[in-house]
Structure 1
Amino acid sequence: MNDTVLDARDAISGSLASCFVTIDGSRYKFLQMTEFSATYKPNIVDVPILGRVNKGHKTVGGTGEFSGKAHYNQSVLRRVMKTYQDTGYMPELEIQIENEDPSAAVGRQSTILKGCLLDSVVVAKFAAGENLLDEELSGTFDKFELPETFDELEGMR
């Protein structure tokens, strides 16, 4: 039996991430983000097979989606929607997320989402009695890149 276990320092601190958004060549460090998640889901279809009771499965494409939460203190994304409303042109975004915790042995991972489109954007907001205003963000992406990936921890193999 392998007695190697995870060193607690190798769990990545979520608050040490960085988020950058590029829109039409302008790059922004999105300090406002408090949560972010991107998922890629392959489309899996059933494949009927003659002579078998069970169907097989095959991947035929995929879909990328992201969601997040941010402090309500920027107008960059509202300007993207204003451009779309006024011209019919929806600027695509590139979103880069970097995860690096200096106390962890895994190093750094950098993920770049390409061809991002926003599903919706809050254009105005207030909430009497609230201490802080935040907003939900969501959208789709066409593909992702991993220019940097976490190192494998000792004991994983």
Structure 2
Amino acid sequence: MNQNDAPSSKLATLYCTVGGRRYAMLNAKDFEAKANVSLADVPILGKTIKGKKPNGLEIKLKMTVYKCSEMFDKLVKEYKDTGMLPTFTAEVKSEDPATSMGASAKTYNDCVIDGDVLLSSFDADGDFIEQEIECYAMDYTTDAEYKEPSYM
């Protein structure tokens, strides 16, 4: 492996579109998107080992942001006031110019908040106000893919 092909996790961009407004998420400290494939057991006559068959998929997103915006608070407020929880879109792109692979970019659509949204906080001994946002995406598209290095 070429050591330059280890992509830097710091060289990325994230944009979230909430309520029609596109935010440059320069306040994001980290971001992670995971696909979870669920499997069902398939008992097979004459075998002691059960087969496995995929039967579902979840896309879970998690990000830590410095609380310098109330963009996620607005989603909670709308849900509180109307009973409808608005969705949002997250676009993430990783591109380290030192690598030979180019860029990887995905857009996560119809994201719905799951869990806590920090509404207020202070700590006289603390450093920064951060919050962890977790959500599920109902779909995603691949906008750019890494090119495989020639040595793979």
Q: Same fold (TM over 0.5)?
A: yes
| 1:73 equivalent in structure 2 | 68
1:129 to 125, 129, 142: 125
Secondary structure at 1:124 match in 2: coil
Q: Deviations 1:108-144 (Å, cap 9, x if unpaired)?
A: 0101111211112111111111122211111111122
Shift in Å at residue 48 of structure 1? 0.5
1:20-70: CA deviations, max 9, x gaps? 001233211111101111111111011011111111110012111111111
Quote the Cα distance in structure 1 between the aligned partners of 2:128 and 2:119.
17
Name which of structure 1's ranges 50-59 and 20-29 shifts more when overlaid on structure 2. Answer: 20-29
Structure 2 Cα separation of the partners of residues 69 and 11 of structure 1: 23
Q: Equivalent of 2:134, from 133, 138, 141?
A: 138
1:110 partnered with 2:110: no
Once the two structures are TM-superposed, the CA of residue 147 in structure 1 deviates from its matched residue by 1.4
Do structure 1's residue 62 and structure 2's residue 41 form an aligned pair? no
Match of 1:18 among 13, 20, 30: 13
Give % identity: 26
Mind listing any 5+ residue stretches in structure 2 that lack a counterpart?
none
Q: Distance in 2 between matches of 1:26 and 1:71?
A: 19
Is there any run of 5+ residues in structure 1 with no aligned partner, and where? 1-5
Matched residue, 2:90: 95
TM-score normalized with structure 2 length: 0.95
CA distance in 2, matches of 1:155, 1:34: 33
Point out 4+ residue stretches in structure 1 off by more than 3 angstroms.
Answer: none
The equivalent residue for 1:30 is: 25
One-letter amino acid matched to 1:46: D
User: For the residues of structure 1 that align with 2:20 and 2:67, how far apart are their CA atoms?
Assistant: 23
Aligned residue type for 2:101: V
TM-score by length of 1: 0.92
Offset, 1:13: 1.3
Q: CA RMSD in A?
A: 1.1
Offset, 1:12: 1.2
